[in-house]
Chains A and B, each alone.
Chain A
Amino acid sequence: MSEVRYTDQHEWIRLDGEEATVGITKYAAESLGDVVFVELPASGKAVTAGGGAAVVESVKAASDIYAPAGGTVTSANSALEKEPSKVNEDPEGEGWFFKLKLSDQGEFAKLMDKDAYAKFVDSL
């Protein structure tokens, strides 16, 4: 059974057993506008919670994607390199960015759940 959590920087993270998948939320994808390029982390890269892990670019803005929790990158969604539009079309599905092996699942547990994130977005 997978579980999804959210950050106040508008990343989502879904935990399936040992492995977590990270992407940006629908709210973030809509705020960015048309995504034209993503820069993905290499497998094996160590990331820390809140540290930069990827970059997403629209025509006029470049934004860092932060790792919601620390760990090691196990794979990245290379389909985005050819089709960055997937981030706009399906941000919380096919538009995922990278997968992580978490070093501390406690960090995951501290993140916002779906309802908390929805309230957070409403407050913006």
Chain B
Amino acid sequence: MSMNNQGRPTGAGDPNRRRPIAPGTVTSEVLGTISGNKGLDHEESLIFELDHGAVGVDLPDVKVGDDRLGGMRRSARIGLPGLSEPEVIRHYVRLSRKNYAIDSGLYPLGSCTMKHNPRLNEKMARLPGFGDLHPLAPASTTQGALELISQLMNWLTTLTGMPAVAMSPKAGAHGELCGMLAIRAAIAARGENRKRVLVPESAHGTNPATAAFAGFTVDEVPAKPNGHVDAEALKAKLGPDVAAIMLTNPNTCGLFEGDIIDIAKAVHDAGAYFYCDGANFNAIAGKVRPGDLGIDAMHINLHKTFSTPHGGGGPGAGPVVLSARLAAYAPIPLLVADDKGLRLIEDMTAAPDGAKPFGRMCAFHGQMGMFSRALTYMLSHGRDGVRQASEDAVLSANYILASLKDVMSAPFGDGPCMHEVLFDDSFLQGTGVTTLDFAKAMIDEGYHPMTMYFPLVVHGAMLIEPTESESKESLDRFIHVLHTLSEEALAKNVARFVGAPHLAPRRRLDETAAARKPVLRWKPDALKQAAE
């Protein structure tokens, strides 16, 4: 069998694992309070369990006697719960308080870029002219929106030094797909049939998934012991069947691939295209233009680099900048200017001369709500602020590296890192503490853990990205906690690690049980019993 060790160990042998009490049972015995609450942390039922037939909106009771529903009127109740507005608000406020957030603390998730989310962005996105604008409203009534998109396109192409950008992809992975479909179309237009895509083993999982999704086969390129992609191995794999390489730069070890110009040249000489995963553009924005590196396509995660909020996992936005070699294949819709102003070309058959769009990524024109936030962020920072943000992000990561490398093991710690710093678990060997335990102990200290067990090229990876949003005092407190935790682990004081967290709203959850017998929705008791 393939010994896939991409994940982390789970469940088995956990000494703190006790026989579970029936789901939903909250006993005062467990929590030590009558209510089950712990001060500000309230136990909260599912909204369905709070149903008592109330209603949270006031709407007139219009009778539809003579309907025009063609006999397709609903025959059964939906089964939705009924609550008043104060109950609904309390429910979701209580839920919100069980979440960690960048607004409440440092969020060092490497590769995820949890930076400050300015509130001006939220306010601007909600201006009625943007938030209450229909995507198919007449063009004469949407000129300001099209102008906004045009301005954002100018920022993105200028910062990246690329001639074109496709705006419609709805997230990073969607942008990757867009870029790879453009490459596929360009290869087809040359009358070639190139099927192989080279992907370094340190890549985000989305890269190989995207390549496969776009109909390519994936060929992995190894990393060198210093954390960089093996440029020689990569070049040796190039050939007439190679469609593209997908490289992340700065890479997921937090290192800038210095051979990139050389790699790009070899790729182009072999007739292939260079896709760059732009997830880490926030390290170099305003300092380095990807267009100067020979890149053909790169998505930009507006929710990372330009701080449209992550929102608990979305929505994102992933526009893709394209080189002159790929620009013609950008998907519809296309934004063009003529004597009547700006307009969208929304149909394949109406593409202007020279344009050969490969298709459409989604309905309408992309994540406008994210565009307005990203442009607000860019205008607030300006080119100087964007550059300073990149420098501060890199400075902060190196400050953490310099402050922790005496206790934690940094496999590539000899040189500077970019915006994130990678540690492995070799300093924990023999302590009885794992990367997972170490990370969970951080939760008890009031910190969100760093990215764990990724990238896969080192053992027990811990990837820390502080971003530019932390003050020096905040970084110093964080460093102090991690330094002390490391010393505790090295002294084999394992109690605070094993079974951590102890102080969070929940302790470690049984993911094995969740996966073996999936419960993916609430059901009324009667239905549950019937099923059993």
Is there a direct interface between A and B, measured as CB atoms under 8 Å apart in the complex?
A: yes
User: Which A residues lie at the B interface, using CB under 8 A?
Assistant: 9-11, 24, 28, 30-31, 33-34, 36-37, 56-66, 84-85, 88
Say which residue of B1, B6, B8, B11 sits within 8 Å of A66 (CB atoms).
Answer: B1
B residues in contact with A9, CB < 8 Å: 1-3
**Whose C-beta in chain A lies nearest to the C-beta of B7?**
A60
Question: Knowing A56-B1, A64-B1, A65-B1 touch, does A33 contact B6 (C-beta < 8 A)?
Answer: no
B515 touches A37 (CB 8 A): yes
Residues of chain A contacted by B516 (CB below 8 angstroms): 34, 36-37, 84-85
- Is chain B's interface secondary structure helix, strand, loop, or mixed overall? loop
A-B contacts counted at CB < 8 A amount to 61
Cα of A84 to Cα of B518 in the assembled complex, Å: 13
Contact B1 A59 (CB under 8 A): no
Asked if A59 contacts B512 (CB within 8 A), the reply is yes
B5 on interface, CB distance cutoff 8 Å: yes
Bound-state Cα–Cα, A62 to B6, Å: 9
**Number of B interface residues in the complex (CB < 8 A):** 17
Known: A33-B11, A84-B516. A60 touches B1 (CB 8 A): no
Cβ contacts under 8 Å, B12 to chain A: 30, 33-34, 88
Q: Smallest distance from the beta carbon of B513 to chain A beta carbons, Å?
A: 9
B10 touches A33 (CB 8 A): yes
Does B99 interact with chain A (Cβ within 8 Å)? no
Residues of B within 8 A of A37 (CB): 515-516
Give the distance to chain A from B276, nearest Cβ to Cβ, in Å.
28
Given A36-B512, A84-B516, A85-B516, A63 and B4 contact (CB-CB distance below 8 Å): yes
> How far apart are the CA atoms of A17 and B5 in the complex, in Å?
35
Other than the known A24-B1, A60-B6, A62-B4, what 10 A-B pairs have Cβ atoms closer than 8 Å? A9-B2, A30-B12, A31-B5, A34-B10, A37-B516, A56-B1, A58-B10, A59-B515, A64-B1, A65-B1
Q: Which residue of B lies closest to A23 (CB)?
A: B1
B338 touches A (CB below 8 Å): no
In angstroms, Cα B2 to Cα A24, docked, is 11
**C-alpha gap A94/B2 in the complex (Å):** 21
A64 contacts B511, C-beta separation under 8 Å:
no
